[in-house]
């Protein structure tokens, strides 16, 4: 099969096995180039481990900290007629490289929201690892079937209280357009909290605790994004914002649970990057394209793996010369990895260019080409080391 990208809006329906392997290797090589991370975790559970920040966390733990990892994700298997999902190929590549390095790596494919997958994961940890000292929660799903009620909730990307209109970027046509979004209903807000809030994270820590699988000093982190001025109405102040508030509630509840283990729970507030999830959020592709241009000009741009490596090395496990932990949190207890993005001069430049950007000056004013390249890389396309004209078997 000759595999090429098939893009529909914010989705790419194909993925390239060799390209995904090249993407995983690129991230591994970056982590290795930064050297070992002292005092890192030994046994790590990553929930949502196949793409984005979850995959970057697994790579950083394994190749930066020499950690044994168990990853949970829900990915599409390949067949003779269609490719698997990018996350499927990422996981296969990661496991191969981890095992070649002599480090334990195992994965479970299934719905992480379900009790069945949670139970299977618990049994695998008991059998292979024993108590874990880091739990990474990095699920970005548009829907969730509740394990107790069986009801399926779907999240929405909508403002609250009033209609929202703004510039947006049609990535298919490379055109600036205006988008108008009606406000979310009360039920839509509640459903978004059900899907993207902190309840499932709590259920995982509760299950691990009851099974005696939380090691002394265990840390857990969930990733979040707060947004900046152009995205506030549908992000921080929108339906997703309510889910983020629930994550903060869950952080406090999980902290109370972990106190008896001398552990802690954190929210990691990350920078805006190109992911499958962010590509689906109206306004975000334009904001990210502008942001990338400015941060690259200032030489402070970070992608996913750079963010997570810095998080592990200088926050979660960093220590100063006296041996004191370097974890710094804001007033809400969040670790701010969006510090470069939110520098006042960066945000002022974004706002200035936001007002000026049009379809005709898009390529000049933004890093849309960089956005497109990063999007394709998510699915294994655009790597010079890969022969995309080669006939390959999609089944891996």
CATH number, domain of 52, equals: 3.40.50.720
How far apart are alpha carbons 388 and 346 in whole angstroms? 37
Domain-located, residue 392: no
Domain count, the chain: 1
- SS3 (DSSP) at 151: coil
Mean pLDDT in order along the chain per 10 residues (396 residues): 89 96 98 95 98 97 98 97 97 98 98 98 98 96 94 94 93 92 96 97 98 98 90 87 94 96 96 84 92 97 97 88 79 91 96 96 97 96 97 95
Paired with 319 in beta bridges are 325
Residues 6+ apart with CB under 8 A from 267: 221, 222, 223, 224, 247, 248, 251, 332, 333, 334, 335
Tokens of 126: 């008991």
**Per-residue model confidence (pLDDT) at position 260:** 96
Place of tokens 């698997």: 84
Tokens of 363: 């390529």
Domain-located, residue 304: yes
Domain-located, residue 236: yes
Domain-located, residue 170: yes
What does the H/E/C string look like for 270-325?
Answer: CCCCCCCCHHHCCCHHHHHHHHHHHHHHCCCCCCHHHHHHHHHHHHHCCECCCCCE
How far apart are alpha carbons 104 and 128 in whole angstroms? 9
Q: Which of 235, 266, 292, 317 is catalytic?
A: 235
Domain-located, residue 321: yes
Is the distance from CB of 90 to CB of 50 less than 8 angstroms? yes
Whole domain around residue 72: which residue ranges? 10-143+160-377
Tokens of 233: 């109405």
Paired with 106 in beta bridges are 70
Terminal-residue alpha carbon distance, the chain: 13
Domain-located, residue 109: yes
Domain-located, residue 393: no
**CA 122 remoteness from chain centre:** 23
**Per-residue model confidence (pLDDT) at position 276:** 78
The reply to whether 104 belongs to the active site is no
**Per-residue model confidence (pLDDT) at position 326:** 76
Domain-located, residue 153: no
**Per-residue model confidence (pLDDT) at position 9:** 73
């Amino acid at each position: 099969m000759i595999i090429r990208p098939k893009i529909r809006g914010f989705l790419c329906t194909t993925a390239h096995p060799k390209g995904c392997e090249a993407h995983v290797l690129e991230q591994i090589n970056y982590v290795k180039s930064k050297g070992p991370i002292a005092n890192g975790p030994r046994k790590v559970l990553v929930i949502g481990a196949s793409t984005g920040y979850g995959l970057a966390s697994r790579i950083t733990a394994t190749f930066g900290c020499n950690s044994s990892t168990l990853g949970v994700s829900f990915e599409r298997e390949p067949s003779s007629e269609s490719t698997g999902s990018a996350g499927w190929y990422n996981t296969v590549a990661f496991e191969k490289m981890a095992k070649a390095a002599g480090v334990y790596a195992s994965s479970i494919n299934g719905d992480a929201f379900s009790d069945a997958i949670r139970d299977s994961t618990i049994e695998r940890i008991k059998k292979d690892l024993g108590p874990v000292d880091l739990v990474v929660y990095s699920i970005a799903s548009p829907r969730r079937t509740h394990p107790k009620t069986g009801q399926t909730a779907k999240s929405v990307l909508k403002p609250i209280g009033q209609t929202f209109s703004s510039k947006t970027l049609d990535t298919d046509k490379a055109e600036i357009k205006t988008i108008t979004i009606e406000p979310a209903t009360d039920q839509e807000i509640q459903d978004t909290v059900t899907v993207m809030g902190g309840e499932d994270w709590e259920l995982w820590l509760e299950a691990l605790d009851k099974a005696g699988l939380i090691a002394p000093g265990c840390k857990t982190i969930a990733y979040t994004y707060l947004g900046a001025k152009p995205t506030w109405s549908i992000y921080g102040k929108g339906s997703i914002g309510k889910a983020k508030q629930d994550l903060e509630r869950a952080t406090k509840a999980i902290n109370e649970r972990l106190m008896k283990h001398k552990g802690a729970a954190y929210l990691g507030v990350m920078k805006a990057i190109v992911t499958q999830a962010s590509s689906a959020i109206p306004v975000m592709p334009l904001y990210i394209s502008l942001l990338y241009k400015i941060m690259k000009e200032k030489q402070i741009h970070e992608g996913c793996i750079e963010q997570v490596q810095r998080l592990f090395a200088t926050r979660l496990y960093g220590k100063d010369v006296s041996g004191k932990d370097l974890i710094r949190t804001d007033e809400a207890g969040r670790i701010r990895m969006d510090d470069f993005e939110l520098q006042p001069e960066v945000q002022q430049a974004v706002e200035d260019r936001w007002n000026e950007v049009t379809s005709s000056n898009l390529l000049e004013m933004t890093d849309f080409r960089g956005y497109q390249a990063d999007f394709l890389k998510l699915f294994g396309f655009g790597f010079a080391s890969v022969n995309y004209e080669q006939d390959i078997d999609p089944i891996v």
